[in-house]
Chains A and B, each alone.
Chain A
Amino acid sequence: MTAILVAINLLVVPLLLVGVIRKVKALMQTRLGAPILQPFYDIAKLWGKTETISETASWVFIWAPRAGLAVAGIAALCVPWAGVLLPAGWAPMTNLLLVLYLLALGKFFGMLAAMDTGSAFGGLGASREATISLLVEPALLLGLSALAIGAGSTDLNTIYKGAIHPLVALLVGITLICTALAELSRMPVDDPTTHLELTMVHEAMILENSGRNLAITEYAVALRSCVYLGIASQTLLHAWPAFGSLPLLHRYGISLGALFVLGIAVAMAEGVLVKLKWRRVPHFLTASLVCSLFAGLIAVAQR
């Protein structure tokens, strides 16, 4: 059973989430929007296309996105982001520090590929992505540490087995959502729908990607979206003490529901937010750092 659910998690949910976010955003703007399944069609279309590769690019440009996808896949497999806990034998793989830096490694590969093409935009995007990562890391690490302090373990399976103190869950949930917006290059940090290269973060990095290379990159982003938003929704759900002891399928259903609710919330926020001035991004992320700091304090006090 677990195997089937994990397969659904890895193959179906990520692109579906992307499709739902886009649809809601379109509806918010009184547009009909593309079908919810459009991201699947896009991946299939890109898979069959010829790639255009910059003359200045090396093998790094070809292989870095693949490595990025592999790393994102491992992270998505290990993190119990949809309420499906892995068997106890997987324990070293579900350590939160490992998962965190697996995600960071994925970003590193993305930056490598971006800088390899020699396009000015790739370098610009990579530099911005690195800046954001730098600002996100302390908030994310501190937030997850607060959960670890509460559970007495850095193993995510253990953390998401028991209940989390509601206040800690709320504060860490806010931290995770804010950092997810930054890490996933969504509003108010980055506008995923813009065509203006000079304002882009993530999109500037993948301007040179096409065909399979682009499909792989897009898929990795969808997986990462699930991991980030999934951890956030799991954290919030575990504020409900009985959640951990529900039957697997119930937990799975509620988790997916929460994930999509969060996705819809992100889309609705994008519908009304204005993109922050680049200089103001650190302020936004500092707010989430403060939330995680308080969560840590409360977790320590609770022990």
Chain B
Amino acid sequence: MTTTRVHHQIETTPFELSARTKALLTQPGMRYGHLTARSLDEARVAIDILLLDTAQGQPLLLTAPLEAGTCEYPALTPAIPAAHWAERMLGDFFGLHAVGHPRWKSLLLHDDRWPMALCPLAGAEQATLPRTPYRFLKVEGEGIHEIPVGPIHAGIIEPGHFRFSCLGEIVTNLEIRLGYQHRGIEKRLTEVPWHQSRFLAESASSDTAAGNALAHATAIEQLLGITPPSRAIALRTLALEIERLANHLGDMGALCGDIGYSPGAALFPPLRGAALALAQFLTGNRRQRWFIQPGGVVRDLDAARRRALLHGVTDLAKQAHEHLPLVLEHSGVLERMEGAGRLSPALARDFGIVGPAGRASGTRYDIRRHFVHAAYPALAPVPAHRETGDVLARAQIKAEEIGTSLDILTHVLETLPDSPIDILLPDRLPAHAVGIGIVEAWRGELIHWITTGEAGAITRYAIKDPSFNNWTGLAIAIRGNLVADFPLCNKSFNLSYSGNDM
């Protein structure tokens, strides 16, 4: 396996950016990855676009520096709808203005919480524009009523506000207002010493601790041009797949709970618990924190524990395969899930929906097949695939992935290579370099994108959680559905608030 730190980088201007990106995206296998900005110095800022060449397994960077004194550039969203939230994020954090953006308003920073002129990531002398005050989209017409839900919800979940505009029981529009969990992680990651930043990076979204830690480690290793030992790679694969397994099993139970199917709601939480116990066995804690580090992992798996873990996986596989049909072959469950929350493949493609939700809507996109991380693409499974894009499709994808994760776990445990579990890291990162860790976390495409400046200091750390793509998918999927089906639809996406709010 090779890691590379040389990325194909294209320099362009803000005015050509949209056309250049659009042209590149017509190449087969090319996907839009992320859009963000980065301060070049105190006065100048550059817009960065990350494209993912899935055919080559290589990221491709486009950089468009803005002239000093300007903070406006032509919006990409009209040409590339998937960039619509990312551009609004630039407005919040860099004070830039994407001219021609169809829904221009702030995204994460709330009007009553943060000063309107605050641009936390902009350089001190950079030209900025204050945020546009937030306005909910107003749906008008006879019989339209609004239902505000949240930010505080019943049950123990993260805060987020959902504004439904309904015609009777039918949702005509859903606007999702997030940002309540904004903690400034991206900025803080440029301030802490890089060899300790993994603790912060992996808490970007704590239910994806292994995924975030792996993306962070992959990005750092890429910067350093090192490859972790083979045993560490195998152990990381275990952590990543156990995380997927535990969360997907939890989702199956939660889906049952939302439709009042109590046998399913009672059977799956113990299985999720069993998967979390495997996680604790492997890493020392159920959330798998502090396990994956740049250069390897912190804890080895001796022969006795490897056998016990394998036994646990076999046991769990048996139970999962027994219980999954109880849900996915139950006529009442099928009736509730079929056709609910349909997200068409065309819209899923336009808005770049990733992970199980994307695969349920016809996308054959699984990072494990394309980009180097953990034991992938060597062990990459054939991606689960559905075209229907409804709740049932998303549930079926998750059920299938539970199976493939269990297979991968068994395979890795049976063929665990012998080697050290980590390597010593150099003291500093290379200067003016870019490292991009791309991981198929359990929700999908997770990107940690690190840029270094003078003396190897991290000058920009961007994290793109899969939820950042998929929240839009949820808002689209619920349109025209019964408002009573929203919780079910929401659970079938099960997105992260903290991962999105950063």
- What is the interface of chain A, defined by CB distance below 8 A to chain B? 25, 28-31, 120-121, 123-124, 128, 187-188, 191, 193-199, 270-275, 277-280
Q: Does B50 touch A at the CB level, under 8 Å?
A: no
Which residues of A sit under 8 angstroms from B257, Cβ to Cβ?
Answer: 194
Contact A198 B483 (CB under 8 A): yes
> Could you say which interface size class chain B belongs to?
20 to 34
How many Å lie between the Cα of A278 and that of B486 in the bound state?
12
Contact A277 B485 (CB under 8 A): yes
Scan B246-266; emit 1 where CB is below 8 A from any A CB, else 0.
000000000001111111011
Contact B484 A198 (CB under 8 A): yes
Q: Does B147 touch A at the CB level, under 8 Å?
A: yes
Contact B266 A29 (CB under 8 A): yes
- Of A31, A198, A278, which contacts B149 at CB under 8 A? A198
How many Å lie between the Cα of A274 and that of B265 in the bound state?
11
* Number of residue pairs A-B, CB distance < 8 angstroms: 76
New contact pairs (16) apart from A196-B154, A277-B485, CB-CB < 8 Å: A25-B262, A29-B262, A120-B147, A123-B145, A187-B260, A195-B154, A196-B155, A198-B147, A198-B484, A198-B486, A199-B487, A273-B261, A273-B332, A274-B336, A275-B259, A280-B335
Q: Does B169 touch A at the CB level, under 8 Å?
A: yes
- Of A30, A123, A195, which contacts B266 at CB under 8 A? A30
Contact B487 A270 (CB under 8 A): no
How many Å lie between the Cα of A120 and that of B399 in the bound state?
36
- What is the interface of chain B, defined by CB distance below 8 A to chain A? 145-149, 154-155, 164, 169, 257-263, 265-266, 330, 332-333, 335-336, 340, 482-487
Which residues of A sit under 8 angstroms from B335, Cβ to Cβ?
Answer: 274, 277, 280
How many Å lie between the Cα of A273 and that of B145 in the bound state?
31
Which residues of A sit under 8 angstroms from B148, Cβ to Cβ?
Answer: 120
Contact A121 B147 (CB under 8 A): yes
Which residues of B sit under 8 angstroms from A187, Cβ to Cβ?
Answer: 260
Which residues of A sit under 8 angstroms from B147, Cβ to Cβ?
Answer: 120-121, 124, 198
Q: With both chains docked as a complex, state the minimum distance between the C-beta of A245 and any C-beta of chain B, in angstroms.
A: 42
CB-nearest residue of chain B to A192? B260
How many Å lie between the Cα of A198 and that of B488 in the bound state?
10
Which residues of B sit under 8 angstroms from A277, Cβ to Cβ?
Answer: 335-336, 340, 482, 484-485
How many Å lie between the Cα of A202 and that of B62 in the bound state?
55
How many Å lie between the Cα of A272 and that of B332 in the bound state?
10
- Of A25, A272, A274, which contacts B259 at CB under 8 A? A274
Contact B487 A196 (CB under 8 A): yes
Contact B258 A199 (CB under 8 A): yes
How many Å lie between the Cα of A193 and that of B259 in the bound state?
11
CB-nearest residue of chain B to A275? B260
Which residues of A sit under 8 angstroms from B146, Cβ to Cβ?
Answer: 120
> Can you sample 27 A-B contacts with CB below 8 Å?
A28-B262, A30-B266, A120-B146, A120-B147, A120-B148, A123-B145, A124-B147, A124-B483, A128-B169, A193-B260, A196-B258, A197-B149, A198-B147, A198-B483, A198-B484, A199-B484, A270-B260, A271-B263, A273-B260, A274-B259, A274-B261, A274-B333, A274-B335, A275-B261, A277-B340, A277-B482, A278-B169
